[in-house]
A and B are shown apart, each in its own frame.
Chain A
Amino acid sequence: MNGILSRVLRFGVLIAAAILIFGTALLIANYSSANSSDFVTYTPNQIPHSSVVVSLSAIPQGIATLDPFAIIELGVIVLLATPVSRVLCSIFLFAAERDTAYVKITLVVLILLLFSIIVTPFIPIFNA
């Protein structure tokens, strides 16, 4: 169980790191002489300094045009997905060990996690 979970985590981290390094290389190529003060102010509901507005569907378009910001966003999403996939895999691994108590515990954690990631951004009180 430990071996498989460890590999899932390592796999996710390496893919995320590769995408992030690629995006950062593009970022340095394009923006290294820009002034950092252009990047540190906050505008809600917009990916900063990019014409791409926050939404998953807008990211592929940014990647197609090699927009460093969209590529980095993709890397962050992959990084975000690693703990979630770790929880998902644990369910199957506990099931393989016939440990029903932990299958149930992990299932509840996964449901809470998915609720929080997918549903709560659309509920007004979570965004106030």
Chain B
Amino acid sequence: MLGSEFLLVLFFTSILAGALGSIVGLGGGVIIIPILTILLGVDIHLAIGASIVSVIATSSGAAATYVKDKMTNLRIGMFLELATTAGAIFGAAVAAYANSFFLELVFGGILLVSLLPLVRQLGEDIPPKPELQGLAKRLSLRGSYTETDGTVVDYNATGPKRGLVGMFAAGLISGLLGIGSGTFKVLSMDLAMKLPMKVSTTTSNFMIGVTAAASAGIYFARGDVDPFIVAPVAIGILIGAFIGTRLLLRARNPTVRKVFALVLAVTAVEMILRAFGV
């Protein structure tokens, strides 16, 4: 393949990945890694390096808008980043001793199982508002945002400790496997903390940049970040994220939930296939 064709394919794939990732709160590695490895024949190390950069680009590109529009919950995001960064460091430290076949199988399985509660609440708009108590109350883990039609949505978080455990797992996976942390973050906020779907995806989007930055130093130093691959990916992702944020602000919660469920299913299958070396 000609260099120029290679750059173009990556650029347009990345626009799609950036748009989708910024809507459902993940970094677009789900799309970029298989395109790179299967379609373009890129080494998996370089694909993961590109995926890490794509996560940071999606996060910073989309968060600028989501934070301004108060869709992202900054306090919930900061609080949970304690667990994700700690998890990411721990994951990177034990990665050399971990069996990636086993890990990918287990985490792929967890994702598949978590589809069940997600599908049961597929049509749900805003979850029933829990009472704010305990740690969630002390750290004021609540918020409100305004839909484009003017409706104000007030919400409280529940289960902050369950949220931390889920987020530690999310960080652990990104440290261990270099991928898959956005889906686990959205799931933790959605299932454990009962936040509205759009708050979960935008807050996950806000957090994934920090988790990815935590592990990026290692990938960068090792030479896994290939400029030839990363440049079209980063530019495409930023354009895609710009488009995606406009779509999310107008989208309804159930729509976002449906798109997320679909992406989750694909991520789970991809992870299990990866375990078997596909």
Interface residues of A (CB under 8 A from B): 1-3, 5-7, 9-10, 12-13, 16-17, 20-21, 23-24, 27-28, 31-37, 39-50, 54, 68-69, 72-73, 75-76, 79-80, 82-84, 86-87, 90, 101-102, 105-106, 108-109, 112-113, 115-118, 120-121, 125-128
- How far is it, in angstroms, between the C-alpha of A106 and the C-alpha of B80 when the chains are bound? 10
- How far is it, in angstroms, between the C-alpha of A46 and the C-alpha of B63 when the chains are bound? 32
Q: Find chain B residues with CB under 8 A from A12 CB.
A: 60
Contact B1 A101 (CB under 8 A): no
Contact B220 A80 (CB under 8 A): yes
Chain B interface residue bracket vs A = 35 or more
Interface residues of B (CB under 8 A from A): 1-7, 40-43, 45-46, 53, 56-57, 59-61, 63-65, 67-68, 70, 74-75, 78-79, 81-82, 85-86, 88-89, 92-93, 95-96, 138-139, 209-210, 212-218, 220-232, 234-235, 238
Listed by A's residue number, 18 A-B pairs whose Cβ atoms lie within 8 Å are: A2-B68, A13-B57, A13-B64, A20-B234, A33-B2, A36-B5, A36-B40, A40-B43, A79-B60, A83-B59, A102-B75, A112-B89, A112-B214, A116-B88, A116-B215, A120-B217, A121-B220, A121-B221
Secondary structure dominating the interface of A: helix
User: How distant is B250 from chain A, measured CB to nearest CB, in Å?
Assistant: 19
Contact A69 B210 (CB under 8 A): no
Q: What number of residue pairs across chains A and B have CB atoms under 8 A from each other?
A: 213
User: How distant is B236 from chain A, measured CB to nearest CB, in Å?
Assistant: 10
Contact B225 A76 (CB under 8 A): yes
Q: Find chain A residues with CB under 8 A from B232 CB.
A: 24
Q: Find chain A residues with CB under 8 A from B222 CB.
A: 44-45, 54, 121, 127
Query: Nearest CB to that of B37 among chain A residues?
Result: A40
Contact A31 B3 (CB under 8 A): yes
- How far is it, in angstroms, between the C-alpha of A80 and the C-alpha of B57 when the chains are bound? 8
User: How distant is A73 from chain B, measured CB to nearest CB, in Å?
Assistant: 6
User: How distant is B245 from chain A, measured CB to nearest CB, in Å?
Assistant: 11
Q: Find chain A residues with CB under 8 A from B7 CB.
A: 24, 27-28, 32
User: How distant is A13 from chain B, measured CB to nearest CB, in Å?
Assistant: 5
